[in-house]
Structure 1
């Protein structure tokens, strides 16, 4: 290290500056995923059903617009609606506008509650979009044009509300851009203040912030080079990377500051030599936690895990080599001018924390077991629920418009059903139609279902002569246009189910109710396939949580194995389990107590938190093994006292850095930040109290020798 610092520090600075300039350029080119395509999980089977539905009925996403005005079915109201439909129809990307206009304002029973409210004061427009809306820029242009039209025609006498999944995607993109303008500067400000208070030196603030800024630049630059775009999940990368990148820097800087060596290069070498291995192990476990997210079926989550792990690796490299080079430009402070003293209230607090687990290990262990039991019980009460609208907050205009439409017209979430005979034969008789009608009726009666539409509704509206037998179905079907609800070969019937905008927990209950109704009314002779944007969200939420639990299990196994390999002691694996799972269980209990559901954001906490929480354990155990020639009590006292300040300092910096995201625009982002920071504090307490208690208990076992770190 000394040879490198003395001969190549200027070359290192030049290389870092050039690569930072290159990645900085690509950072400026980083775009937002306006269509949120990366939030859609990989599901080949569901993709096939969606493609089949699209090929049959040529429908994909849609916007729903409600218009309220006095006498909307009067002459002025009809003129207003005709003009509005004409303008929407001309918007690029709009395939068709379904409204009362195309029916010359003749209201049928099917239209009530859908295209016209029951009180006759609100009209509905269903704006069907074409395939080009899969492109984020095209979707953005369409939504902005629709919003512009609404703004131009809106008057004090009218109320126009717009909703739909495409609008939710667009709104998410807008909020991501807004958050990006807040997160990075605020994280930088918070970390700067914290670092200045911890180190009481300008260099103690400057170097960690430089490492953080360069790490973000490199990580996001590479992210942009590879053609990726930011979404509501990956928008967390800047604050997360900025926060995590200071950990290695703080540990090495504080050790350098405490050192009494006055030779510049020797002092840096000693600090790095003492901590490069623990910091490497800690960075590795953190990266493992992030990399476990690559098992997720959701591309956005995989990208977040992959590039967060890359950021951790870059921050370790810069924290060791970059900080070392930076410190060569400083004059080492003499011992009497050190800002950090091992005296005062903080030192007394660490002494007190060290005595408790040594004097009362059984009490501490018993309390940890009780807390674990409480946490496990609490975690079992957590509900799995993803509610896209609640993510935006009740004050969001989109949320208010959605609620207005549901209060006055119909549900805005849609599940599409494809009904067919198992033998592949056409639907050819009224007896089959009656079965489908009975199925539709049972589905319509499910909780949160607002409306259902199928060919049975169109057939029921036909004026068959009373007392006369109905003609064969084959003669009736050509009489009406059923192209939107019956396939051309008459083998597949479409049933549209419109529901309230409820979370995936209630949505899952709706799907289960649909399947039960299919079994009871259609039997085994018919097949029902579910599709639609809302159904996709329901299935993805279920798969996401399952995949995250799998990721967490893999992460914790790999991390514990790594601890065993690093410390060459199987017993250390057991010693590390409790202090690192208790924080997660406590966080789970808090989620259950406050009704925080497992969702897109919160499901990632466990895998990430275990990787971060174990960092303190590694640093504590590494310091503990240094005092192998001391008695156990002295070893705990020295370890807690020597590492405590650095552990508390990094926890303050990391947690406050994460908590910056509570100012974000998405509810899952806020919960993710808040709970992750809270887990870090739980982990710190466990590592300063529970881990020493288990070490004390372990040292008293008959097969463990008196001196620590050596087992028989």
Structure 2
């Protein structure tokens, strides 16, 4: 190792300008890719494109014509009639008209009071479809009539207008969810034209995700420079020499620019995780530089051979820095074992950035130090070795104080850390796995406020889809035509017909066969040919009718009971499905009274209600609940919460219901919808993170044994890591913080950086003991420069993340808080527990030092 470091130091100190030029060209060249940045905040991309849950979700959207939707809500608490007043309804009408003119909105599926039908009885056996609000109400009586009409239609009640009448909603389906921020901004501009007393809100997962992307982009441009400024100030406090601290800042900036440039240059989008790469690397990249500068400033004295001192310092630190860099990168590379693509990318590029920072540090820092002027070096010594009143010496005094505690209260420390570890283990068992993209914003953010207000008033703005599909094998046109003896004269017609009707789904093929037979019956046929076609027609019509599973009253009754169970559970605000359509139309075809709000008793009657519904102004709405072949149906669930825990409870409820009440023969149930996808990727993330953490832990443990060539030192190196990880996640469980995406990823950082401090402490302690032969003297020396350097690094990394605490986005705040905690805890465990354990077990530990 020393020969490698000597060669690198020799090259960099002899050819410093070449080092500068190569680093500059590399940084500028790779950094030129950064303007090509593409932001991605779609939680769907937390799953692979070919993940079964994601494939089924997208297929469901295609089969049932579902689109991502922005939810616009209005609340009128001032008027006694709520939103059922002339002014509010006029504003809703005008806003709807404005939204329909926005590019990217799916006009035909937009749901507003003014774009839906009122379904009523025109007379016995006759149904009328007319616009619910073709024009703004002329008076309060007309507004009251709209209220009466909506409350008679379960499909609309508590979806378009709240049960308390205080709020109304407009559901804005959009072609491209990546356009949701733009569309939401245009809607806000239209709302700003109103001067009423109503309060308007915009929410929905697509707009929340796109809004997050916009603010994330802004946050990247703020937090990274602030982190850099914070680190610069801290380094100035430590070394009080601006020329000296420019070097680690160059390393940090080059590392961030090259890493982000490579990520973007390779075509990867910047997700919420990868947006934090710059923030993670900025403090981590200066760790090795601080170790070098700390020891250099302590060792170098005016008049000494500068290059010789640099070579000695780097040679002394090369091995521990190399292993700390490798172990830190292993912690992040382990994230590539997770099944979550954005987390894999994050882990890969942070791991690369750490190794790149090590290489740049080893080459650039010696080159930079070798070119420092005598004046700058003299100023450094004067600043660091003055009368001891500076901040740098204050850190040294704190480090020495920790040494006295570590060596003076060994037994008490072991007991204290033992108790902390036991409590932490219990805390880990209390962790709740949960996430919700809307909660990525602070509680007072307009997105969170809108989400809270609208879900308090409505059945829910979060969507989940339960898809029921009949998987039984259907009759085919060939089986129908083969079932009856056919006249030879129809052989050609048969083959042509089969070639034509087999296209499309099986149900569609049978329907096409009916059309083909019906057309043929108009030809001049022989009695034998006519009898054959009549017989086949009867078989096909029977098979076609039986194949329309979701026209069967018994199947619809099953869905109806399932909906009632969901409603009674309190977990679901409301569900909409095919039985609701059928019951409304059936009521109006009969008496128009509530007693006839029920399912018909025959398939033909069900078919008649659906045929009537298709004469409305929105006939395609039917296909949101059932496929045209009636072989698959969708139950649209509205939830007031987007939390994974709540969606998981709904999935479990449906599973339990189906276990107790088996689905009709041949029918299978599957889930789709964004709320469900969030559950899937969270489960994948938890399992993946656990696997990656265990795998990385084992790898790092083996590396420690190899590094120290000692099982004892390998175990000691893992001690701070084990306690820090357990404490952090135990604390998360105890305080009730949800285990979400940012929290999960922190395990990699904990693993990498906790062992970093331990490696430096153990390597330096072993080398010092070999020089002194005294445990007491070794510990005294360890709590001079080595402990000071560790303390400086802990402060640099911890405080380097503090700009995140002022971010408007919760994941950034979470990372900032817990990273600072990780650094403080891992440094304390290293400086307190390791010396205590080493002192108590001196016969075993220092016997392994040689």
Q: Answer yes or no: same fold by TM over 0.5.
A: yes
Tell me the secondary structure at the aligned position of residue 162 of structure 1: strand
- More displaced stretch, 47-56 vs 338-347: 338-347
When residues 90 and 331 of structure 1 are mapped into structure 2, their CA distance, relative to the original with a 3 A threshold, is same
C-alpha offsets along residues 116-170 of structure 1, whole Å, 9 cap, x if unaligned?
Answer: 223444332222222x33xx3x344333333333333x32333322211110111
The answer to whether structure 1 residue 655 and structure 2 residue 798 are counterparts is: yes
The equivalent of 1:476 in structure 2 is: 606
Match of 2:246 among 203, 206, 214: 206
**Any idea what SS the aligned residue of 2:173 has?**
strand
The equivalent of 2:341 in structure 1 is 299
RMSD value over aligned CA atoms?
2.6
SS in 2 for 1:445: helix
Aligned to 1:685: 828
Supply the distance in 2 between the matched residues of 1:516 and 1:340 (Cα, whole angstroms). 73
TM superposition shift of 1:382: 1.7
Tell me the distance in 2 between the aligned counterparts of 1:124 and 1:651: 51
Q: Does the aligned pair in 1 maintain the 2:464–2:672 contact within 8 Å?
A: yes
The C-alpha deviation readout for 1:358-378, integer Å capped at 9, x for no partner, is 455444333322221111111
Change (3 A) 1:255 1:345: closer
Task: Answer whether contact 2:74 2:167 (CA < 8 A) is retained.
Answer: yes
Structure 1 Cα separation of the partners of residues 407 and 661 of structure 2:
68
Query: Would the aligned equivalents of 2:73 and 2:170 in 1 still touch at CA under 8 Å?
Result: yes
- In structure 2, the residue matched to 1:667 is 810
Q: 1:522 to 1:66 in 2, by over 3 A?
A: farther
What is the CA–CA distance in structure 2 between the aligned matches of 1:93 and 1:55, rounded to whole Å?
17
Residue 88 (structure 1) aligned to one of 75, 78, 99? 99
SS in 2 for 1:528: strand
Residues 521-670 of structure 1: pairs in structure 2 closer than 5 A:
521-523=661-663, 525=665, 526-627=667-768, 628-629=770-771, 630-670=773-813
Post-superposition Cα deviations, 1:175-223, rounded to whole Å, max 9, x if no partner, equal 1022123212211221111101111221332211121112111111112
- Corresponding residue for 1:392? 441
Cα distance between partner residues in 2 of 1:7 and 1:470: 92
Instruction: Find the counterpart in structure 1 of residue 498 from structure 2.
Output: none
| Map of 1:373 onto structure 2 | 422
Alpha-carbon shift at residue 637 of structure 1 (Å): 2.4
**Cα deviation digits, residues 639-695 of structure 1 (max 9, x gap):** 232310100000010100122211122223212221121111111111112112222
CA distance, structure 1, for counterparts of residue 319 and residue 248 of structure 2: 19
Which residue does the alignment assign to 2:273?
233
Q: Show the counterpart of 1:186.
A: 226
Question: 2:384 pairs with 327, 336, 339, which one?
Answer: 339
Q: Does structure 1 residue 254 correspond to structure 2 residue 377? A: no
The answer to whether the 8 Å contact 1:356/1:689 transfers is: yes
- Is it true that 1:151 corresponds to 2:195 in the alignment? no
Pick from 3, 27, 32: which aligns with 1:20?
A: 27
User: Structure 1 residues 113, 6: CA separation in 2 closer, same or farther (over 3 Å shift)?
Assistant: closer
Q: Structure 1 unaligned segments of length 5 or more: list them.
A: none
By how many angstroms is 1:618 displaced?
Answer: 0.6
Q: Does 1:436 align with 2:559?
A: yes
Q: Which moved more, 1:427-436 or 1:388-397?
A: 427-436
Aligned residue for 2:627, secondary structure, equals: coil
Is 1:174 the counterpart of 2:174? The answer is: no
Q: CA deviation at 1:448?
A: 3.4
CA separation in 1, counterparts of 2:166 and 2:298? 75
In the alignment, is the contact (CA less than 8 A) between 2:47 and 2:54 conserved in 1?
no
1:270-319 deviation digits (Å, cap 9, x = unpaired):
11111111111111111111111122222222221111112111211121
Match of 2:569, SS state, is coil
* Higher mean C-alpha displacement, 540-549 vs 353-362: 353-362
- Residue 325 of structure 2 aligns to a residue whose secondary structure is helix
Of stretches 314-323 and 21-30 in structure 1, the one that deviates more from structure 2 is: 21-30
Residue correspondence of structure 1 range 321-340 to structure 2 within 5 A: 321-331=363-373, 333=377, 337=382, 339-340=384-385
Which residue of structure 2 lines up, in the alignment, with residue 127 of structure 1? 172
Q: Secondary structure at the match of 1:596?
A: coil
Are the equivalent residues in 2 in contact too, given 1:448–1:499 (CA < 8 A)? Answer: yes
* Inter-partner Cα distance in structure 1 for 2:55 and 2:34: 36
Alignment check: 8 A CA contact 2:9 2:362 kept: no
* Corresponding residue for residue 491 of structure 1: 631
Write the deviation string for residues 503-527 of structure 1: whole angstroms up to 9, x where unpaired.
2122211221122123223447332
CA contact (8 A) 1:176 1:235 kept: yes
Matched, 1:244 2:284: yes
Distance in 2 between residues matched to 1:517 and 1:315, nearest whole Å: 56
* Structure-2 separation of matches of 1:522 and 1:571: 59
Q: Distance in 1 between matches of 2:404 and 2:89?
A: 81
Distance 1:119 1:259 in 2: 76
Do structure 1's residue 446 and structure 2's residue 446 form an aligned pair?
Answer: no
CA contact (8 A) 2:414 2:833 kept: yes
Q: Structure 2 regions of 5+ residues with no counterpart?
A: 1-7, 118-130, 133-148, 474-546, 615-621
Q: Say which of 241, 257, 263 aligns to 1:217.
A: 257
Name the CA distance, whole Å, in 1 between partners of 2:411 and 2:85.
Answer: 81
- Shift in CA distance, 161/353, structure 1 to aligned 2, threshold 3 Å: closer
2:160 counterpart of 1:115: yes
- What residue is the counterpart of 2:500 in the other structure? none
User: What is the TM-score when the length of structure 2 is the normalising length?
Assistant: 0.78
Quote the residue 2:54 is aligned against.
Answer: 47
Relative to structure 2, which stretch is displaced further, 574-583 or 271-280? 574-583
Distance 1:280 1:207 in 2: 19
Structure 1 partner of 2:482: none
Could you list the per-position Cα deviations for residues 612-653 of structure 1 after superposition, in whole angstroms to 9, with x for gaps in the alignment?
111000101110121224122222322232310100000010
1:58 maps to which of 65, 72, 80: 65
Provide the C-alpha distance between the structure 1 equivalents of 2:711 and 2:416, rounded to a whole number of angstroms.
24
Q: Which residue of 2 aligns with 1:676?
A: 819
Per-residue CA deviations over 1:39-77 (Å, capped at 9, x if unaligned) read 456661112321331232111311122234566556665
* Aligned partner of residue 811 in structure 2, secondary structure: helix
What SS is found at the alignment partner of 1:654?
Answer: helix
2:183 to 142, 146, 152: 142
Shift of residue 553, structure 1, vs aligned partner: 1.2
> Residues 340 and 381 of structure 1: is their aligned pair in 2 closer, same or farther, counting only changes over 3 Å?
farther
| 2:287 is aligned with 1:274 | no
TM-score (norm. length: structure 1): 0.93
Moved more, 204-213 or 531-540: 204-213
Q: Which moved more, 1:283-292 or 1:429-438?
A: 429-438
Shift of 1:454: 0.6
How far is 1:247 from its partner?
0.3
Q: Secondary structure at the match of 1:209?
A: helix
Please, which moves more after superposition, 630-639 or 447-456?
Answer: 630-639
Contact persistence 1:648–1:684 (CA under 8 A): yes
Cα separation, partners in 2 of 1:495 and 1:568, compared to 1, 3 Å: same
CA distance in 1, matches of 2:717, 2:683: 31
Counterpart Cα distance in 2 of 1:336 and 1:177: 42
Q: Is the 8 A contact 2:300 2:306 kept in 1?
A: no
Greater mean alpha carbon deviation, residues 444-453 or residues 191-200: 444-453
Higher mean Cα deviation, 72-81 or 535-544?
72-81
Residue 30 of structure 1 corresponds to which residue in structure 2? Answer: 37
User: Is contact 1:57–1:483 with CA below 8 Å preserved after alignment?
Assistant: yes
